[in-house]
Amino acid sequence: MDEMSGLIEAAKGGDRAAFDEIVRHTHRDVYSLAVRLTGDEEDADDVVQEVYVRAYKAIRRFRGDAAISTWLYRICANCSATFLRKRTRQRYEVLDENELVFDHSPDNDPVLQAEASLARSGIESAIRDLPDRLRAVVVLRDVYDLSHQEIAEELDISESAAKVRLHRARRKLISVLEGVSDAEGAVDDADGEATDVG
């Protein structure tokens, strides 16, 4: 039995220290997913706290059909969706145009490093600026590789709605990254709203 399996079994038996170790091993990845789903670090803190509260209460029912990390990702997706439904206001991160972004990896060309860092920053910023319901789908599909069916189950929407949202999210990202006006995307949203039944 590997270390994580032992911790899970101990936690299922009520060992709080073992559960705390599971949190220590998984927190970074769960927090990263929460940030991507909510688009905000403070909101992600709230979501992650709820994730581990739910996980602690449900650990005895964990069957081990999937990795503990996958189980926690599913709880995180559910908590994030619930949180976003309840959130009454949007938060936007304003990027300072004068702030330079550097990647300090020593092995690569500094110009390529800066270009790669700016590209990553642009993609992450574009994802953060997506509407909540589109951001959740594109993160779960393109970052965490969940299937359309799994996304639909996690977000409590139909599979067709998940596909429609993913298509819209990708088109918005492409238009933003290519510097195209978002006017076309706004028309698409209005025309396609009836299709997205979730």
**Rounded-to-10 torsion of CA 141, 147, 148, 150:** -110
Structure tokens, 129: 């600026």
pLDDT digits (tens, 9 = 90+) for 131-183: 888 888 888 887 777 888 888 888 888 999 989 998 898 888 888 777 744 44
Q: Which residues contact 74 (CB under 8 A, 6 or more apart)?
A: 154
Structure tokens, 105: 């990896």
Is the pLDDT score of 16 beyond 80? yes
Q: Which amino acid would we find at residue 4?
A: M
| Domains along the sequence of the chain with CATH | 3-86 (1.10.1740.10), 110-192 (1.10.10.10)
The band of 121, judged by pLDDT with boundaries at 50, 70 and 90, is low
Count of residues for the chain?
Answer: 198
pLDDT digits (tens, 9 = 90+) for 38-92: 888 899 999 999 999 999 999 998 888 888 988 999 899 888 888 887 764 444 3
pLDDT given for residue 119 in this prediction: 54
- Which is more confident, 108 or 179? 179
